[in-house]
Amino acid sequence: MISNKIFSNDSIELIVKDNKVFIKVFKGHFPITAFNDLLIDFPRVKVTNFIALKKTLEEGSHIYIEIGEYRPVVEVSVSNDQLKAFAFINLTEDEFKQFRKDELVDLILAFCKNKDIVYGLKLEGLENKITFLEKICIAEGTLPVTGEDAQVTLYEVKEVKPEVFSDGNVNHYEMNLINKVEKNDWLGERIEPTPGTPGKTVYGTDIPPVPGKQLKLTYDKKTIDAILNEDNTKTTLVASKAGAVIYEDGVISVCNYLEIDGNVSFHTGNIDFDGFVEISDTIEDNFSVKADNNIQVMGDLGLGGIDSIESREGSIYIRGGIAGKNKAKIICNGDLYTKFAADCTIICKGSVNIGYYAMNADIKAKEVILESYNSKIIGGNIEADIRVEAAEFGNRAEVPTTINVLGFNKIEYKKEYDDLNILIDKVKEKLLYLSQSLAVYSPNNLNQKEQRAYNDLERKHEILVQQIKLLEEKRRKYKSYLQSKGDGEVKANKCIYPNVSLNIKKHNKKFNNLYKAPVTYYVLHNQLNNA
C-alpha cells in the first residue's frame, strides 16, 4: 500500500493511502481550530471520522489514525431531483493555476461519463466558467410541461332587454325572448386537455408530465350531440333538433319549440304547447295561445281581439303591441314586453314593460314600466305591487285614469335582499369547495368507486351553478324593487293631467289640474310624499 505524505510538522503528519486520509499526532493537545485552519490549504481532505480526529488531537498518537477521505480533483454531484449536475474543483488557487482548463474540462467529462450524466451538458464556454472551490452547474435537465386543462365554452342565453328606438316615422320595440337554434347548430365546445410534455433528467430518463384536467360537458344527451374531431383535440356540441336553448339545473338542453309561420288562425287552431312558441305574424281574433315557456309574437301589427295568450312558466314578448278590442287577455308567470297595450287585460306575476303607451288597459303586475320618454298611460286601471313609471299620466281630454300601487314592506324586502346576498356567498363557497374537490380527480384514470364519487360531485356542482343563476336573477329583481322610493312609487317623467287618481298604499291623490314638472309620489312612514 503506497502512501503519500501531504503535510508534516513538529506536531502532526497527514498521509494519504488508497484515497483515505490518516493522521499522526506527535504532541497532544493540538487545537482543533488550528487543524481546521490547516485544512484550508488542503481542500481535497474530507474529515469523516470526527470522534477519532478529536481524540487523537487531544491525546496524541504515534500510529496513523484514519480520519477521512481524500477527494478527487474534480467532484461531480447531482441534485436530488436529478435535474442539475454540478462540478466542484477541489484545488487551492495555486494548485488551480497549475492545471490547464482543458484538462479540468476533460476530467469533468470523464466523471460525467462515469456517472451516466448524458443529457443537458453545458459544455459551451465551460473552460471560462470553471474555477476553484465553487460549485459549477455543468448539466441541466428539463422540467416536464404540465398539460393544459380542458376549456369549455357554452352557448350563452341572451339577457332579456328591450331596445326602444325610432327609425324615421316608425317606433321600434325590439328584443328576443327565445334563443332559437336549428338542427346541427353550435351549442358549445370543449378544447380537450393536452397530455403535457415530458421532461428529462441529466441521466436522460423521461419525467412524465401531469396531464391537463378534464372538464365534463354537461348537456342533455336526448337533444344535443357531442362530436369529437379527428385529432381528438375538440368536442363540439350541436343541436340534434331544432328548438329553444335553455339551462335547467345547470344542464344545457334544447327545449321543445313550436314556430308558427304566419298567423294563429282557423288553419292552426288554438295552440297549447309544452315548450316555447314563436309566431312569425299574429294571432287572429278570438284565438288563444298557451305554452309552458316563453311566447313571442313577432308580427309588426301585434295582436287584436284575441281570446288570450298565456305563458304558464315563462315570459311573453309581443313585438307589435296589443289592440285588444276589450277582449284580449294576456297572462304570464314571468315578465311581459310589448310595444303598446290598449283595450286589454294583463295579469303578470313579474314586470310589465311597455314601450310607448297603455290606453284603457287593465293591468296587474309586480311593477309597470313604460320605457320611452314620450310614453303615456291613458285611461284604464293600473295595479302594481312596487311601482308604476311613465312619462305622462292621463291626457288633454282628461280621460279618467287610475293608478293603484299596493305597496310593499321595504324593510322586509331589504332583509330578504341581504339574506339573498348571504345565501349567494354561501352557495359560492360551496361551489368553490366542490370545484377544488373535483380538481383532485383525474377523470381519465378513475376506478369505479372514484368515478361514482366524481359523478356525485359533478351533479352537486351543476345544481349549485343553476341555483346561483336563479338566486342572482332574483337578487337583480329585488335590487330593482329597492331602488324605488318609499314603500310604493308612482313616477311621472313629464306630466300628470287632470282626472288622474293615484292610490299608493291607500293614500289617495286626485289631480284636478295639469302638473307639468317631473314628479315622483311615494309613501314613507305611512305618509304620502313627492319629490
Mind giving me the DSSP string for 137-184? Answer: EEEE-BPPBPPPPPEEEEPPPPP---EEEEETTEEEEE-----EE-TT
Angle at the Cα of 212 (from 209 to 213), degrees rounded to 5?
A: 135
Reading the block at residue 416, the C-alpha cell is 330578504
- Of 112, 138, 132, the closest CA to residue 44 belongs to 132
Q: Out of 111, 140, 169, pick the residue that ends a domain.
A: 140
Residue 458 domain flag: yes
Burial class (CB in 10 A: 0-12, 13-18, 19+), 224: buried
Region of 358 on the Ramachandran plot (φ > 0 left; ψ -120 to 50 alpha; else beta): beta
Residues 435 and 525 in one domain: no
Residue 262 domain flag: no
Question: Do residues 284 and 305 lie in contact, with contact meaning Cβ atoms separated by under 8 Å?
Answer: no
Residues 440 and 339 in one domain: no
Residues 359 and 435 in one domain: no
How far does Cα 66 stand from its chain's mean position? 67
Query: In terms of residue numbers, what domain contains 10?
Result: 3-70
Residues 399 and 520 in one domain: yes
Q: For residue 164, what pLDDT is reported?
A: 66
Residues 126 and 98 in one domain: yes
Residue 212 domain flag: yes
Residues 404 and 428 in one domain: no
Residues 191 and 225 in one domain: yes
Residues 406 and 419 in one domain: no
Q: For residue 368, how many C-alpha atoms fall within 13 Å in the half-sphere facing its CB?
A: 33
Region of 486 on the Ramachandran plot (φ > 0 left; ψ -120 to 50 alpha; else beta): left
Question: Do residues 372 and 356 lie in contact, with contact meaning Cβ atoms separated by under 8 Å?
Answer: yes
Residue 279 domain flag: no
**Dihedral (Cα; 103, 107, 108, 109), 10-degree rounding:** 100
Per-residue pLDDT of the chain (531 residues; tens, 9 = 90+): 467 899 999 899 999 999 999 999 998 899 999 999 999 999 999 999 999 999 999 999 889 999 999 999 999 999 999 999 999 999 988 888 888 888 889 999 999 999 999 999 998 888 888 898 899 999 999 999 999 999 999 999 887 777 766 654 556 567 788 899 999 999 999 999 999 999 999 999 999 998 888 888 888 999 999 999 999 999 999 999 999 999 887 789 999 999 999 999 999 999 999 999 999 999 999 999 999 999 999 999 899 999 999 999 999 999 999 999 999 999 999 999 999 999 999 999 999 999 999 999 999 999 999 988 899 999 999 999 999 999 999 999 999 999 999 999 999 999 999 999 999 999 999 988 888 888 777 666 778 888 888 888 888 888 888 888 889 889 988 998 999 999 999 999 999 999 999 999 999 999 999 999 899 999 999 999 999
Integer Cα distance of 398 and 182 in angstroms: 51
Q: For residue 169, what pLDDT is reported?
A: 52
Burial class (CB in 10 A: 0-12, 13-18, 19+), 101: middle
Residue 215 domain flag: yes
Asked whether the whole model's pTM tops 0.75, one would answer no
Q: Which residues contact 51 (CB under 8 A, 6 or more apart)?
A: none
- Of 101, 214, 197, the closest CA to residue 151 belongs to 214
Q: Please list the alpha-helical segments (H only) found in 386-409.
A: none
Total tally of structural domains belonging to the chain: 5
- Of 60, 68, 71, the closest CA to residue 12 belongs to 60
Phi then psi for residue 377, to 5 deg, are -120, 115
- Of 360, 359, 374, 366, the closest CA to residue 164 belongs to 374
Reading the block at residue 56, the C-alpha cell is 487523537
Q: Which residues of 315-327 are buried (b: 16+ CB within 10 A; e: fewer)?
A: bbbbbbbbbbeee
